Amino acid sequence: MLVKYRSTTCLNPGDSERQHVLMKEQVLASALTRAKNNNIALFVAYYLLWLTTYCGRMFVAYYLLRHESPASPQHHNKDVLAANT
């Protein structure tokens, strides 16, 4: 990554050193902000992926419980009740 700085003329010799340190701190701060934003984006993407798979598993479990095979005990009980009435 290339970062361009505008050139400035300093009257005091220590000013250029101080400006250089400030620029390095600014670059570091922006890099940390980008890394933090990337981590948040990755966490949100992972959470959404987990949520969709969890909801999908719950839907499949619900569907399988609701649409059981005719040989299941629940259907057997309904058939027995219908035959006894």
pLDDT of residue 72: 56
In contact, 74 and 68? CB cutoff 8 Å: yes
Amino acid at residue number 27: V
23 vs 74: CA distance, rounded Å: 73
Per residue in 26-71, pLDDT (tens digit) is 998 998 898 888 899 999 999 999 999 999 999 998 888 887 665 5
- SS3 state of residue 9: coil
Given this model, what pLDDT does residue 48 score? 95
- Quote the pTM value: 0.45
Tell me what pLDDT residue 6 has.
55
One-letter-per-residue 3-state SS of 7-24? CCCCCCHHHHHHHHHHHH
